[in-house]
């Protein structure tokens, strides 16, 4: 399957997946980047902010803690189950939770000073359209700030999990990770989509390396196999194979990173565009 042709299951965060995602994946790969993204807003004059593709709220919680209480925060996501998980965890101060499609935002023109999106744009079927919606709801001088993962071989846990499952499903190996979350990293493509979204001044592009750490190899195996839509691909190929897949991934991570605590490279790009 071509990497730019994502099935609907790539966006299906249902059942127990949101809770596993929050418990295992968020601390593994998202928390440090959430803090970095919010720090980039600290010097800007923001009074009303929109987060799109908020997931289980890792950036939302950071926004609610780091920004002044005078800043109004609206956190949105297409998937209600993810928003329910985020709302159940709560935030230090009230935020507004809204179910919303990033390609058709239910907000008036020029109603926010900033729009932020951490590791969500890769899931948008029409990225230029989503970017144009972000621009539409921004006030003049406002900023659109988003992050995407670099290629999968720069993100070692995800790479190890993907490679480990290929012998398990040799005729049709699961490709969710390189296809979608780690499939939108090319700078030229991103700059083109941002320009096609109406940001005529272009965008700034920063590569941010980080480390991903866990107390054992099983934690990243669970995080990726059971806490992402990779789970949907595994269960589609073998309805009872999820446990075996997690075990296979655990063994692969152990071989590559050792027993006990594991430490791997991860890398992302942060993109900012002003209206």
State phi, psi for 76 to the nearest 5 degrees: -125, 155
The overall average pLDDT reported for the chain is 93
Confidence of residue 211 (pLDDT cuts 50, 70, 90): very high
d(CA 204, CA 179): 24
Whether residue 3 has pLDDT greater than 90: no
And the tokens for 70?
């005078």
Burial bucket for residue 196 (CB in 10 Å: 0-12, 13-18, 19+): middle
Region 85-92 average pLDDT: 93
Give the pLDDT score at 151. Answer: 98
Region 229-254 average pLDDT: 96
Dmax (CA) for the chain in angstroms is 55
pLDDT tens readout for residues 132-150: 999 999 999 999 999 999 9
Give the pLDDT score at 17. Answer: 77
Whether residue 155 has pLDDT greater than 50: yes
Instruction: Please say whether the beta carbons of 236 and 9 come within 8 A.
Output: yes
Residue carrying structure tokens 């998980």: 85
Percent of the chain at pLDDT > 90 equals 90
Per CATH, the homologous superfamily of domain 8-274 is: Vaccinia Virus protein VP39 (3.40.50.150)
CA distance between the termini of the chain = 36
Region 232-245 average pLDDT: 95
d(CA 48, CA 142): 10
pLDDT tens readout for residues 117-131: 999 999 999 999 999
d(CA 120, CA 107): 19
- Whole-angstrom CA distances from 219 to 62, 216, 238 are 23, 6, 22
Give the pLDDT score at 10. Answer: 45
Whether residue 21 has pLDDT greater than 50: yes
Torsion of CA 157, 159, 160, 161, to 10 degrees: 90
Neighbours of 82 (CB within 10 A): 22
Give the pLDDT score at 42. Answer: 84
Give the pLDDT score at 6. Answer: 60
Give the pLDDT score at 7. Answer: 55
Percent of the chain at pLDDT > 70 equals 94
């Amino acid at each position: 399957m071509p990497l730019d042709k994502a099935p609907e299951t790539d966006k299906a965060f249902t059942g127990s997946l949101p809770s596993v995602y929050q418990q295992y994946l968020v601390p593994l790969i998202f928390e440090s980047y959430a803090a970095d993204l919010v720090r980039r807003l600290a010097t800007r004059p923001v009074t009303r902010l929109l987060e799109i593709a908020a997931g289980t709220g890792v950036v939302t919680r950071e926004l609610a803690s780091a920004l002044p209480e005078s800043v109004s925060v609206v956190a949105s996501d297409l998937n209600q189950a993810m928003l329910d998980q985020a709302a159940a965890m709560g935030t230090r101060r009230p935020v507004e939770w809204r179910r919303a499609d990033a390609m058709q935002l239910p907000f008036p023109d020029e109603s926010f000073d900033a729009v932020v999106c951490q590791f969500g744009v890769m899931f948008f079927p029409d990225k230029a359209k989503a970017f144009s919606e972000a621009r539409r709801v921004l006030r003049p001088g406002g900023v659109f700030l988003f992050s995407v993962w670099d290629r999968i071989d720069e993100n070692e846990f995800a790479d190890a999990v993907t490679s480990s499952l290929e012998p398990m499903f040799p005729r049709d190996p699961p490709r969710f990770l390189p296809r979608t979350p780690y499939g939108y990293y090319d700078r030229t493509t991103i700059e083109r989509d941002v320009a096609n979204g109406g940001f005529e001044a272009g965008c700034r592009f920063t590569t941010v390396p980080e480390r991903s750490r866990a107390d054992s190899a099983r934690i990243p195996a669970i995080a990726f196999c059971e806490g992402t839509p990779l789970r949907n691909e595994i269960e589609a190929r073998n309805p009872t194979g999820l446990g075996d897949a997690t075990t296979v991934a655990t063994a692969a991570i152990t071989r590559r990173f050792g027993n006990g605590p594991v430490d791997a490279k991860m890398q992302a790009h942060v993109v900012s565009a002003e209206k």
